[in-house]
Amino acid sequence: MAQHSLRPCKKMGCPELTRDESGYCDKHRYIYEEQQKKRWNTMEKDRKSARERGYDTRWDKARKGYLIKHPLCVECMKERRYTPATVVDHIKPHRGNKQLFWDRDNWQSLCKRCHDMKTARGN
């Protein structure tokens, strides 16, 4: 994987250079982590539990069956990597729409890494 180029730390007045994705040097990375924690807590505060969002026993069975039929991560396969899938992802977020939730054409198998990256991008 390519490294990021060196850039100044985002902390005002800090002379250190960093390659960290956060933009902060090791000494000031805590600032980024605190910002992320606040964002996460704000986001999670109003979020329903997984079971309340429809991820129940029926989903568990459907997920297991889908992963048996589609065992590899579709994103990794695009890069000719063969990674076992562990997540059934909704391609288009269902946002509570039960029809979209259960539409198997809207499902894809992903490894945790690819799912986490997709979720972080917000799509």
Instruction: Summarize the confidence of residues 46-69 as an average pLDDT.
Output: 85
The string of pLDDT tens digits covering residues 63-115 is 999 999 999 999 999 999 999 999 999 999 988 899 999 999 999 999 999 99
| CA 71/CA 59 separation, integer angstroms | 17
What confidence tier does 55 reach under pLDDT thresholds 50, 70, 90?
A: confident
- How many CB atoms sit inside 10 A of residue 59's CB? 16
Evaluate the CA torsion angle 73, 76, 81, 83 in order and state its sign: negative
pLDDT of residue 21: 85
pLDDT of residue 109: 98
| CA 97/CA 113 separation, integer angstroms | 26
pLDDT of residue 3: 67
